């Protein structure tokens, strides 16, 4: 840490960790509903719980991104934050907005669109939060003497994130158009804006821990982000095969999304390369593990598991089955959860001025969450293959097939419990580091 105002990041990290824990609790509740008859159906039915599970995910990741951004921007720009007050205000607004959203879901206050369940009033409130955030970041960056690619990409990512969000706000009369623009939020976030943010944050961490020249790191950042957008924007078409949109999307979407793994593979190589050619002794070995682990798991969850069902010939059979859930979990964990944990394990000790800190717990968190999420995702995957084959291939009734998938749902539950232990350890670790005296 170099600048005093970077400290606003800590509370973002703490809330990020806590909401992560809550998300996982609700996830466990969801999988139980698949396995046994649901005693809570009258209080918190599946749909409500799913809305909470996915929205908590988005909120904790946004907290993580914002915390990471507030940590990095002063250091990159060589100046204090434009306004610590705004950063604090924005923190509380987002926290309150998130909590109101979750409580609202419990009382049936919902827009009723998957992943975009927040009611329209809250969606606009989020826009206000985003504007404050962007303003604050932008005003800090323009004080810089030398614009860096990391700054530019980061700013581009958060602006794109906010702009895409707007397409999730209106009510659409036509279901096909509804989903057409729904994917402008969902897909263009995870395979667009978020990749920009993640790649910039990762570039910063690599720059700091390996000491490789900025020129080299930023060159690769440009190439990777370019490829992400070139493949990912038209790649949105892999969601336009069956929703009422024209058949040419099978070509556009199929070909471009099949190229989406290219930048992700590049990220793996370039991370390993930077680490190999490091100019500094890497003292924070835990961060090194998270960095490399993130690159590899990002590759597996997003590139491999995404690729498996992105071609229309396959997607025709797997669309709308647990195959999607399998990929969703592995990709989100590998690409974004691990990234945020990397940033937290890098930035939080630094904020406390800790040169050394006890990394034992952090390594436990690493191995437990990685192995358990791998198991969980693969179990969903097997369930999904069974479902695609029996339900779509053989035309057997939906609920009958769910019976055949049950053992794999039980596996998901068990892995989920293990994962939960890892997350609890993580929360304890974060709280302990955050509360350390400097």
Partner 1 sequence: MERKTARNFFIWGTAVCTAIFIWLTIDTHTTIPKRTNTDKLTDEVVRGKRVWHKYNCNDCHTILGIGGYYSPDMTKVYSSRGENWLRIFLKNPESTDPQRRKMPNQKLSGDEIKNLITFFKWVDAIDTNEWPPKPITVAKVTGAPLEETAQILKGKNVYNQNRCDLCHRIGGQGGVIGPDLSHIGTKRDTKWLSNLIINPKSINPMTQMPAYPQLSEDEVQALASFLGGLK
The yes or no reply on residue 398 touching partner 1 (CB under 8 A) is yes
Q: Tell me how far, at minimum, the Cβ of 96 lies from ligand HEM, in Å.
A: 26
The residues in 250-269 that bind ligand HEM, with binding defined as CB under 6 A, are 257, 260-261
Q: Which stretch binds partner 1 (CB under 8 A): 5-13, 213-221, 339-347, 419-427?
A: 213-221
46 binds, among Fe ion, partner 1, ligand HEM, none (CB under 5 to 8 A by kind): partner 1
236 belongs to the binding site for ligand HEM (CB under 6 A): no
Q: Which of 140, 137, 197 is nearest to 164 (CA)?
A: 197
Which runs of consecutive H residues, i.e. helices, occur in 299-397? 305-308, 312-318, 322-331, 338-351, 360-387
Q: What is the DSSP string of 250-284?
A: HHHHHHHHHTTHHHHHHHHHHHHHHHHT-SS----
Q: How far is CA 407 from CA 4, 49, 88, 290, 369, in A?
A: 52, 22, 47, 31, 21
At a CB cut-off of 8 Å and minimum separation 6, what does 254 contact?
237, 238, 310, 311, 312
DSSP string, 91-147: HHHHHHHHHHHHHHHHTT----STT--S-HHHHHHHHHHHHHHHHHHHHHHTT-SS-
* x/- map, 300-319, partner 1, by CB under 8 A: ----------------xx-x
- Does residue number 237 form part of the binding site for ligand HEM (CB under 6 A)? no
Grouping H, G, I as helix, E, B as strand and the rest as coil, residue 168 is: coil
Measured from the CB of residue 331, what is the shortest distance to partner 1 in angstroms? 16
Tell the smallest beta-carbon distance from residue 393 to ligand HEM (Å): 15
* Residue 39 interacts with partner 1 (CB under 8 A): yes or no: no
In the complex, minimum distance from the CB of residue 112 to partner 1, in angstroms, rounded to a whole number: 3
Beta carbons within 10 angstroms of residue 32's beta carbon? 16
Tell me which stretch binds partner 1 (CB under 8 A): 68-76, 95-103, 168-176, 291-299: 168-176
CA nearest 187: which of 221, 237, 259? Answer: 237
Among 355, 399, 437, 438, binds partner 1 (CB under 8 A): 399
Determine if 62 is a binding residue for ligand HEM (CB under 6 A). no
Instruction: Point out which span in 95-103, 285-293, 309-317, 337-345 binds ligand HEM (CB under 6 A).
Output: 309-317
| Site for Fe ion contains 7 (CB under 5 A) | no
Site for ligand HEM in 72-131 (CB under 6 A): 114
* Residue in this structure with the two tokens 């915390």, named with its chain if needed: 67
Contacts with ligand HEM in 190-219 (CB under 6 A)? 190-191
- Alpha-carbon gap, residue 171 to 398, rounded angstroms: 30
Q: Which residues bind ligand HEM (CB under 6 A)?
A: 114, 186, 190-191, 238-239, 257, 260-261, 302-303, 306-307, 309-310, 315, 318-319, 324, 327-328, 331-332, 335
């Amino acid at each position: 840490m170099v600048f005093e105002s970077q400290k606003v990041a800590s509370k973002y990290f703490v809330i990020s960790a806590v909401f992560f824990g809550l998300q996982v609790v609700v996830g466990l509740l969801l999988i139980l509903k698949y396995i046994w008859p649901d005693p809570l159906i009258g209080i918190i039915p599946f749909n409500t719980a799913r809305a909470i599970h996915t929205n908590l995910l988005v909120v904790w990741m946004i907290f993580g991104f914002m915390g990471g951004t507030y940590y990095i921007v002063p250091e990159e720009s060589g100046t204090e934050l434009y306004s610590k007050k705004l950063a604090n205000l924005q923190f509380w607004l987002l926290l309150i907005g998130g909590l109101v959203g979750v409580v609202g879901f419990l009382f049936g206050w919902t827009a009723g669109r998957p992943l975009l369940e927040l009611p329209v009033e809250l969606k606009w409130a989020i826009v206000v939060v985003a504007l404050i955030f962007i303003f604050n970041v932008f005003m800090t960056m323009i004080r810089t003497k030398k614009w860096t690619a990391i700054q530019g990409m980061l700013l581009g990512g958060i602006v794109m994130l906010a702009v895409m969000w707007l397409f999730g706000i209106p009510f659409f009369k036509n279901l096909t158009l509804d989903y057409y623009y729904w994917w402008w939020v969902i897909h263009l976030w995870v395979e667009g804006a978020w990749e920009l943010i993640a790649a910039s944050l990762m570039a910063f961490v690599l720059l700091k821990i390996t000491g490789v020249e900025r020129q080299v790191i930023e060159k690769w950042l440009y190439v990777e982000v370019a490829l992400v957008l070139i493949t990912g924007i038209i790649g949105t078409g892999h969601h336009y095969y069956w929703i009422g949109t024209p058949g040419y999307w099978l070509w556009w979407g199929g070909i471009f999304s099949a190229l989406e793994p290219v930048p992700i593979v590049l990220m793996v190589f370039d991370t390993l390369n930077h680490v190999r050619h490091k100019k500094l002794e890497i003292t924070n070995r835990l961060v090194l593990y998270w960095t490399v682990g993130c690159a590899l798991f990002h590759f597996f969850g997003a590139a491999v598991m995404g690729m498996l069902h992105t071609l229309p010939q396959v997607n025709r059979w797997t669309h709308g089955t647990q195959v999607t859930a399998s990929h969703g979990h592995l990709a989100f964990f590998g690409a974004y959860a691990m990234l945020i944990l990397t940033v937290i394990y890098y930035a939080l000790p630094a904020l406390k001025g800790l040169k050394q800190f006890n990394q034992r717990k952090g390594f436990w968190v690493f191995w437990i969450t990685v192995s358990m999420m791998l198991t969980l995702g693969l179990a969903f995957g097997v369930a999904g293959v069974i479902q695609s084959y029996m339900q779509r291939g053989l035309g057997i009734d939906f609920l009958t097939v769910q019976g055949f998938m049950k053992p794999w749902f039980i596996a998901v539950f068990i892995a989920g419990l293990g994962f939960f232990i890892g997350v609890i350890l993580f929360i304890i670790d974060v709280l302990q580091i955050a509360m350390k005296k400097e």
